[in-house]
Structures are given as C-alpha cells and as structure tokens.
Structure 1
Amino acid sequence: MEIRTKAALTTVIRAQGRAALVVNVRSRRGRRHFAEVRQRLQAAGLDLMGVWPVSDPADLPQRLASAATCGADLVVVGGGDGTLSEACHQLAHRDVCLGVLPLGTTNNFARSLGLPLNLSEAVRTLTEGKVADVDLGHAAGRHFANLTSLGVSVLVAEHVPHGLKRLLGRAAYPLTALALLPRHQPFRARLRVDGEVYELATHQLNIANGSFHAGRAIAADAGVDDRLLVVYRLGDANRLRLTAATVRQALYGPYRPLARSPFLTADKLWLETDPPLDLDIDGEIRGRTPVQITLEANALRVMVRPSFRDT
C-alpha cells in the first residue's frame, strides 16, 4: 500500500475534509460532548463519512477498523487513553491520520503530543494542524501509545471505580493506589537491554513511549517521537518508599533529564518477573511477563499543532 507523504496527507485533509468520527461515549466526557463534537466538526468543514458512538468497549476495535477503511483520510477519535491506545493499534502503519479529541481522565497521549485539552481548540487543531509521524510501543501483540506498566498500576486499573473517575478525574488513580497498596506484594524484575542485565525489586515498574504518566511529565526531555522507550521504577520493595518515590516523580519529574537516575532508555528490551505478572497497557490489562517490549519508530500518523517538532 502506498503511503502518502505527511505534507500530501495534510493538504488532502484540509482541501477535502474526508473524516470519520468514533467516540467512546462511556468515557468521562464522551457522552456529554458527543453531539457537540459532531456538530463542531461539521461546522469546521469536515465531511463525516461515518460516525460511530461506542458504548460497549468490546465494539471499539470493529468500529475503529470500519472508520479506518471507510475512505476517510482523518479518523477522529474521542475518549481516554485506553480508547486512543486501541485507535493507535488499529491505525498503526496505515495511510490515514489519527485526530485526537481528549475526552478522558488523564489524557496522557494528548499531553505527550502537546495537544490542547479544550474541546474547541482540539477541533481547531484537526482542521488547522499538520500531519506528524510519532512512535508507538509494542508489547504482547499490542501497540501502545503511552505506557506499559506492571505492579500496583494493574490493581488500580482493575479496581478504580468508574464513578470516582467521573467525580475526581485523575485524582481517582492515586487515591485508589493508596487504598490497594497495603495488600500489594513486591516483585523482582530482570531487564535485558543491549546485552546488559538489570535486576531490581519494586512494587511498580513503568515502560513509557509517551512523555506523560498520570497527567504528569515523566522527564524534561522525554517525547513521543524520540525513538526511545523510557524504563523507570517507583521506589523499591518498601511500600513507604514507593509512596515517597511517587511523590518525588510527580514533583521533580518534569525537571529531570533522561540521563539521570532513575531512568533507563532503550528501543527494545526483554522483561521477566518473579512471579509472572499481568501487564497494564495504556490502562487495559493485556498480556503477561515474560515479554519483549519494542519501539516502532514513526508507526502512527497523527494531527498535531503546527508548532509540534516532528523529528
């Protein structure tokens, strides 16, 4: 299949406006804004060739696949990071562009792309922005946009109340983690990177493609198109030190460069744990250790602001 250049695809989207719309109406703001989003896109001159409101997450892969093959050049997806992760998986290496409407709780992928979280500005980016190529991670047969993690985050993903997310937004995640931490057991992890072996004990290990985690910047120079996966643990086997490390990361992460501890960078790694553990891939429990995690450079086309540095 022929892949158009970024400039050519940008020109076609602006000139012809062929678009599809998929919105997770179970997301924090999806149901509330679905009708408004549709109206705003049409008012902005986009020709909606297909519109899919999705209330059952099980239907999302098929709806996104339909959107990707309906003849649209721009597939606009509204929802949280889990919805956008599925969109990235479906649209990876295709000659179509993803348009992001951040309607979730933490919106890590949108933040990594430097996209506005305001709905009107997000729609303006879809019609006045440019097409960029960004990286995706790959683990357990799935592409991921932002983060693969294991440990406490898996419990949080399984148990955070949907109503609490609606009420408190991203604050629901650390509150749920604090409630679950007393019963969580530490684990040992072994990472193989470029022939080197790293062993550690922790309650939480993260492998990031994007530059945001829980709505906070991971590091000063982390990016979604830097050709790097960023590996870092929070604390060690001690629960109190996990809490302290989480607070430090939230406070100082945006100012620390990747060259400093606790970060390890790679484009491919092999991960084993004792005991074997489930993986949280962009908020969804998919796969299990041992696992190979890789970076796929320039795997996704996405609409970004004109000021976005596309490397």
Structure 2
Amino acid sequence: MNDALPKQAILIVNAMSRRGADVFDEARAKLELAGVELIDAIAIDRPEQMDQTVIDAVARAPMVIIGGGDGSLSSNVDFFVGKDTVFAFLPLGTANSFAKTMKMGTDLDSAIDVIANGRRRRIDLGIIDGDYFVNAAALGLSPLIADTVPHKLKRYLGMVGYLIWAARSAFHFRPFRLRVTLDDGRIEKAWATEARIANGTHHGGVELVESQEVDSGEIVIQAVTGKSLWGLAWSWFATLFKLSGRERTTTEWRGKTLKLEARPQQKISIDGEIAARTPVTVCIAKGAIEVAAPHE
C-alpha cells in the first residue's frame, strides 16, 4: 500500500494560538524549503473565519495543514471525516498533547519533517454527542482550570501558567459521583476527582492513558477514583514520573459506545476547550481520517 504523503497542501494557521502569529511566515518558508508546495497559506486572526476556511481548503487540496493548539485541531477535524484529504498539523499550543500521542516532536522543525517526509496513517476519532475530537476530553479539575484560566497567563507562561492556576482552582473543586454504562449494559459507579475520555495517550501534555492507541477501535474512560485531591495530585505525580504502581491510582473502562453521567453535572473540556456537559454518549469512529504521521 502506498502511504506516501501528498506534496501539495494548504496551510492554515490559527494566529490566535499561543505561537501561531509568531511562526506563520517561518512555517510557510520552511515547508516550501522541505519540498511541500503550498497552494495557499492563510493566517486566521478572527475565530469566525476558521470553519469556512478549512471547509474550502479540504475541498481543493490533497492535504491541509492546521497550525494551532489541541483545541484548534479538534474543532476542525470534523471537516476531514469522509474526505480523501490528509489531515496534517503544526503543534503551536501549550500542551500539544495530540502531537505527543502521535509520537511527534512538538517543535516546528520536527513537525515539518513529518509533513514533508512522513507517512499517511489512518486513525480513529473520539465522538462526544456527535462532536468529533482527535485526542482526549476530561471532566473534573481539568475543565475547571480550562474554563477559568486567564488567557494572558496561558499565552505567556504556558504549562507553568496552567500549574499556577491549577493550584488556585483546587481550592474551589469538589469530587463527583461518576456513572458509566458499558457496551453490554452493565453500569459502573465510582467517586472521582477527574475522568478522561481518551482516543489518545496524552492529556495536558502528559502520558496518562498508556493503554490506548489511536487505532484501537475503542474509546477509553479513565477515572482517578476517590474523593481526595491529594489522591489526584499523587496520580498525576506517579504517572508523570512513571512510578511503579501508578496504574492503581486509576480505573479504566473500554468500549465502542459508552454513556457517561456525573452528579453533580460536570463540564467537559475537549482537547482543552469547554464543549460539552454530562450526561453524554461517547463513541469511537474507527479509521475516520488519514493523518500525516511519523514513520514507525
């Protein structure tokens, strides 16, 4: 099977992302130097322009390169479903979790090398109530941080800014009662401080769902169970530093279609952007799109 990537593409950069405005000209020049012929290159500086620009690009290019953070990638991946256009991306956000899930470097040169010299790879997408996403969603403390973090703190301090705001947000957070209905109708219940809905391995820039693959054909719900925020902090710490026994800090459920409920009702961040509330139905779209990926 020929898995070579197209050599023609349209570049669309979210100039509102953390690094988008700064690297647009550099990215365009380096892509062309690497042998990618750009049919067009567009910097988006108003949110309302993005959707139609991507739709038009998918209709006229064999590959479309989206430059932005994880939220930009997820909010535009819907337009590639059912199309032959390859989805390529430049990770220009704060955490860049999807790039890490795909085992790509998060610097500009590494991403351009993948687009110029990588391969086509067909991957799954997650779906939450009909909305496609590339990598991971979360409920609990993470959405509280995403929903309240000041834009300037996120833009100028990156992950450090997130950590500062996380410590502040923890004082206002309470655990919730989680209810998961599995494929076979069984119902699982647990107290939780955080839950991740994972198509990929990384969330918040950290590898949290090590058991998942982007072509597994299943969605994973992983919960940090219990009522203690110290337990949540320990789970993150143990996972970040790959400590022995880290898997015992979480509980996982897998399936093709799962129903997720929470009491009290929880907001859900999808790849860093608040986009849903419980209850939701979570599905997997197997082999939904082709992406530009590194060689094995």
What TM-score do the two structures reach when normalised by structure 1? 0.88
User: Cα deviation per residue 1:124-166 (whole Å; 9 max; x = unaligned)?
Assistant: 2112111110110000221011112112222111112222223
- Which runs of no fewer than 5 residues in structure 1 stay unpaired? 1-5
DSSP-derived class of the 1:203 partner: strand
Mapping of residues 126-275 of structure 1, within 5 Å: 126-193=115-182, 194-252=184-242, 262-275=251-264
Q: AA paired with 1:66?
A: D
Residue in structure 1 matching 2:287, options 293, 298, 308: 298
Give the Å deviation of 1:208.
Answer: 0.8
Alignment of 1:282 onto 2:271: yes
Q: Match of 1:234, as an amino acid?
A: V
Q: 1:105 aligns with which of 94, 109, 116?
A: 94
Q: Provide the secondary structure at the position in 1 that maps to 2:174.
A: coil
Q: Which amino acid aligns with 2:263?
A: D
Q: SS of 1:263's equivalent? A: strand
Moved more, 50-59 or 192-201: 50-59
1:34 paired to 2:24? yes
1:235 to partner: Cα distance: 4.2
Give 3-state SS (helix, strand or coil) of 1:247's partner.
helix
Look up the equivalent residue of 1:227 and give its one-letter code: G
Structure 2 CA distance for partners of 1:221 and 1:271, relative to 1, 3 Å: closer
Residue 7 (1) aligns with residue 2 (2): yes
Alpha-carbon separation, structure 2, partners of 1:261 and 1:56: 40
Alpha-carbon deviations, 1:10-33, whole Å to 9, x = none? 36x1xxx22111101111211111
Residues 1:104 and 1:77: Cα distance change in structure 2 (over 3 Å): same
Q: Secondary structure at the match of 1:52?
A: strand
How well do the aligned residues superpose, as a CA RMSD in angstroms? 2.2
Is the contact made by 1:235 and 1:243 (CA closer than 8 Å) also made in structure 2? no
**d(CA) in 1 for partners of 2:71, 2:88:** 15
CA contact (8 A) 1:220 1:255 kept: no
Give the match for residue 94 of structure 1.
83
State the Cα distance separating 1:51 from its structure 2 match.
Answer: 2.1
The letter of the residue matching 2:131 is R
| Alignment counterpart, residue 50 of structure 1, candidates 33, 40, 43 | 40
Give how far 1:292 is off.
0.5
2:54 to 64, 75, 86: 64
* Percent identical residues: 31
Distance 1:280 1:122, change over 3 A: same
Per the TM alignment, residue 222 of structure 1 is displaced from its structure 2 partner at its CA by 2.4
* 1:238 alignment partner AA: S
Runs of 4+ in 1 over 3 A off after TM superposition: 253-257
The 8 Å contact of residues 235 and 249 in structure 2, kept in 1 or not, is answered as: no
**CA distance in 2 between partners of 1:254 and 1:281 (Å):** 29
Please say if residues 140 and 286 of structure 1, whose CA atoms lie closer than 8 Å, have aligned partners that are also in contact: no
Residue 8 of structure 2: aligned partner: 18
How far apart, CA to CA, are the structure 2 residues paired with 1:166 and 1:255? 35
Count matched residues: 295
Question: Structure 2 unaligned runs (5+)?
Answer: none
Give the distance between the partners of 1:57 and 1:253, measured in 2 at CA.
Answer: 41
Query: How many angstroms apart in 2 are the aligned matches of 1:173 and 1:304?
Result: 28
Per the alignment, do residues 239 and 122 of structure 1 end up closer, same or farther by CA in structure 2, a change over 3 Å counting?
closer
CA distance in 1, matches of 2:175, 2:106: 36
How far has the Cα of 1:100 moved from its partner? Answer: 1.5
